[in-house]
Structure 1
Amino acid sequence: MKRAALFLAIPLLAFVSAQTCLKIEQITPVDRLYSEVPTSGGAISIRGLFSSLDRSNLTTFRFKVTIDDTVPCDNASAIDYVTISCVVPPGLGRGHSITVKDTTNSASFVFNYGKPTITSVSDTSSVSGGRIYVEGSNFYNNVNSVKAFANGQPCTDIQYEQEHKKLSCKAVGGEEGQAYFLLLTQDVAAYSTFNNVGGDGYFSISGVVKNAMNGEPMPDVLLILQSQDPYGPPLAKIRSNEQGIFRFKHAAGPYVLNATIEGFSTFSQKLNVYRDISGTVTEVMMSPTITDNKIRVVLKYGRYPLNIDAHFYTNTCEVWSDFWQMHQKTCPNSTFVTSNTATHGPITMDIGEERGTYYAYWVPTPEANGLSQPANWDKSQAEVTVYGANLPEAGLKFYPSFTQRTWQMWNVFTLESGKVIPAKNPPSL
């Protein structure tokens, strides 16, 4: 009798296993600390029970992964025997389902696209109104799915300045002082405030022109403000004064600031003007024209100045600067030109025939910089410009992306046969 009971139990166990071999327990967007999927979509991790995975060969992937039963979740693959990854398309709203199917079973899990979040709204004229610029996240990328209101009236002519992250619209004037802005994406609301300012609604764009080789101010540099349309005419021109200072006054909008003077490479920088701008954001670093085979790297701190240190590394030598040891050099053909940490930049390095990687990274620790948490590269607006005889006249520009998050090191570029190649992240030494 005992043998018979044991024999009957085996099919029962197999039946239970067949019913529970596929189960989704959690969905987590990659590089995110929360469960909602951003409206831009992106890579997600699906954790659960996937007993039909071939643990000896995870490349043999027999699952079909879909969104709302119809839209493929692209590039589906197994990370390990409890994790599947795929790329979710952009989307809006809540209550979406992701389904994993094998040849006999399926499992589903409900997820939500992120709610819109507003981090800043530009001011506008109380008299005439004007275009308002709104920054944040989860704004989606389709103007037909977005509604905006300012001063209690529809904010019209919505345009994306940066999909999912930044948009603009035309607001009517309102009573001088603080006012409310409302953004709706599929009836999910986000609120913020802005100011109706008196006067003409124009904003100041001011800064200092510096020599990237020594940080000294440069007078008589021609600065030209124009629209970001490459064929647009100049909107304003001015020359820096004896202290290298310049100042424009212009309406809100996206612009390009160019600076030229004989013997130096052209400087070019995009600006989104929706309030007065000054300080490290609008510092203009002019690099003397390069005629030999070296390249010059100029690091600019941006709006979130910290003690960023530069590091050039090869298999045989290094050039670096840190908070404690300035202008260290072991590479025979490369050198630090300047590393002005007292005024947060510029950091300039000339690189000769060596082949390697240039690094910029936070040193010392966040606590030493007076911060309660690690610095965020995406918010910093740090900028690296690389100049060379065979590079564009205004140089190649590199910016950290949001995927850098709070990593200590930003790996900027590598040199391969004299060519500047954007480096992969996360970095490793």
Structure 2
Amino acid sequence: MSNPGEADLTPITSVRQLAEWFAAGGKPRTEWGVGTEHEKFGFFRDGHATPAYEGAAGIRAILAGLEGKGWAPILDAGNPIGLKRGAASISLEPAGQLELSGAVLPDLHATWRELREHLREVHEVAGPLGLGFASLGFHPLHSREQMPWMPKGRYAIMRRYMPKVGSLGLDMMLRTCTVQANLDYGGEADMAEKLRVSLALQPVATALFANSPFTEGRPNGFRSMRAQVWTDTDNARTGIPAVVFEPGFGFERFAEWLLDVPMYFVMRDGKWLDAAGRSFRDFLDGRLDILPGERATIGDFADHVTTAFTDVRLKRFLEMRGSDAGSPAMLVAQPALWVGLLYDAAAQKAAAALVRDWTVEEIRALRATVPRQALAAEIRGRRVQAVARDVLAIARDGLRARGLGEEVYLAPLEEIAESGLTQADRLLQLYERAWDGDAAEALLHAEV
């Protein structure tokens, strides 16, 4: 989840205006870049507790240490809740998971350099405090009650609302970490094809990146508990929206869909106002009870867009959201996969052909089985492992066509697809053998 941005006070007068807001994100192919975001759990190496916000070795202290490396603080009600440096930012997830929202970069080599620099800086600040950061999809040890809360206004609103709309929303907030790639689109037709292809293939990515087999110290029966959590978080704003696969789908139809996603909040005068469960359409008409007579602005809509948690999210770019966080190599493999599939015209057409006949019902059924079965799940009688091999072959061709040598970053995914063993499977093997049933070792093993 991002830090609050600058508000656009332009009044909304039509849905077409919202479609134009999305359309303004389109770029010529020569300007396409890649942004990568990843989250990680902080933990004390001695005892494995999760650091609170305050304290000599708390998350606030981590932010203060990073300020000394040229990062500027982002404040919420006077509390530092993030950092900004150039086009990159660091933000806090609800339990203090540290997120790097990377700059939009020209290639994957730059992404790898950015990641290494970030991890080096975090090590330099966290190490003397006795803290490490682990990159896993779901916290392997702690219960909800053992996780701290960060002082961010929007999280307080979500904390109250989540239990009303799903049983696992608080787990999503407190106990999950992801890696996502943010990619550009050309125009409306390109956006629509990219969104359809990436939504259809998101369950395949979920299987390849599965890395969360433990809950509260024990195997949980899933390869990706993080992906399972999203199935009961808030179905009004998550998953695979059927509207994307309707004939004629485009910016305006997606804007209409978003207007029916219940609101979380509105920001006014630097404060988050609780609008949870209310209608954005009422806000458009000046009928929002917490701001009577006031009509929504483009800035309000931009904030609202960030509260749709579909497996791929359309903003003024596309966010690939279906993957567990993992090792540094996997953190770069995730954008490599999607750049390979979607940034070369021939690769994109090949990926579109691969999924063209898949129905929404089939894709959703695959999405439902992948958290537990990962590469052993099936669609149309084919194991996901076999589909993943095809997908990776297309991605490799797409990266080769870019001529930058970026295909090297697919290597860990190709090993997973060949062996059939995900990061989660490797963790379970270690748990049963070398770790003698101690899931706490997963934090140390996954330290980045």
Same fold (TM over 0.5): no
Structure 1 or 2, whichever has the larger Rg, is 1
TM-score by length of 2: 0.21
Structure with the bigger RCO (C-alpha within 8 Å, sep 6+) is: 2
Bigger share in strand: 1
